[in-house]
Amino acid sequence: MSGIRSVTLGTSDLSKTKELFENILGLNSSEKGDNALRFGDADLNPGTRIHFVEVPNNDYQNSHIDSVGLRTPSDSGLDEYQDILNQHQISFSSITELNGNMHFNFEDHNQQLFDIYSNEHNTGVPLGMPSFESTVNPLHQIQGLGPVILKVNELSITASILNKVFGLHIFAEYLPSEEATQVIQVFKIGEGGLGGELHLYEAENEITNQENEMIEQVEFSTNSKSDFENAKQTLEDIGIPYQTLQQDDSESLRITENSGISFIYTLDK
């Protein structure tokens, strides 16, 4: 897979997050220590994983990640999820279209926005695997991430890092509404499609972060060892600090850009 691999967010109440994502939205889950949970498809495959870290702040809100896309296989899945949210008295928007894909959005208890997209007319990064133990019909379950919409302090700087270090290219721009003045740039990752898109725009007001609340991360992956090594060499040449993360099936580079969000570039072995 080459696309969005995972997203990490903060939450002020992990139990509420688990109720929403596992019991209502029907995702599979696993613990990641005492104060973190991971959600995803039946096998928690890359490309389906969304991580939450509990922050001891009742007023916590994520600063950079405007919206996380969650993909259901077809248009009928949108109706299914609207019915489910309605049963649990969770407000949601009407279904609209973005770049040919139907979607709607809702918020969690931290006012974090999530968009459920239909994958019916999408190409590129495929969906994961449904779970037969889920509370949601396997035909309609959320089985993939993307797109992810981010805001940053200096669009040109972040865009340059994504392009020159990680090889992501802008392939589209759009205005989110008729009244909007901020253009959103769309970066393609790997195979592209909804599961391989980062949407980026510049924040109107400067984003500031508490040191203990720098939680947000977006991880994207590559299958190319040469691309990975080139990214590593470019970071060293430019002098951008980075961490190397090793796991059994992957190797990653992690940087934190000047707005405070971290990007993780992973080579799947």
Distances (CA, A) of 91 to 51, 86, 104, 108, 150: 23, 7, 11, 10, 23
pLDDT of residue 246: 92
The model's pLDDT over 241-258, given as tens digits with 9 standing for 90+, comes to: 999 999 878 999 999 998
Q: What is the pLDDT of residue 249?
A: 84
What is the tens place of the pLDDT at every residue in 118-150? 999 999 999 999 999 999 999 999 999 999 999
Domains defined for the chain, CATH in brackets: 4-213 (3.10.180.10)
**C-alpha 15: how far from chain center:** 21
- The vertex-158 CA angle with 1 and 250, nearest 5°, equals 30
Sheet strands (E) in 108-190? 113-118, 144-152, 169-174, 184-188
Q: Kindly indicate the confidence band of residue 106, based on its pLDDT and cuts at 50, 70 and 90.
A: very high
pLDDT value of position 248: 78
Residue 156 makes CB contacts below 8 A (sequence gap 6+) with none
**Each residue's pLDDT tens digit, 150-175:** 999 999 999 999 999 999 999 999 98
Average pLDDT over residues 49-70: 95
Q: What's the pLDDT band for 179 if we cut at 50, 70, 90?
A: confident
| Neighbouring-strand partners of residue 7 | 50, 218
| pLDDT above 70: percentage of residues in the chain | 98
The mean pLDDT of 50-62, rounded to a whole number, is 94
131 with 143: CB under 8 angstroms?
no
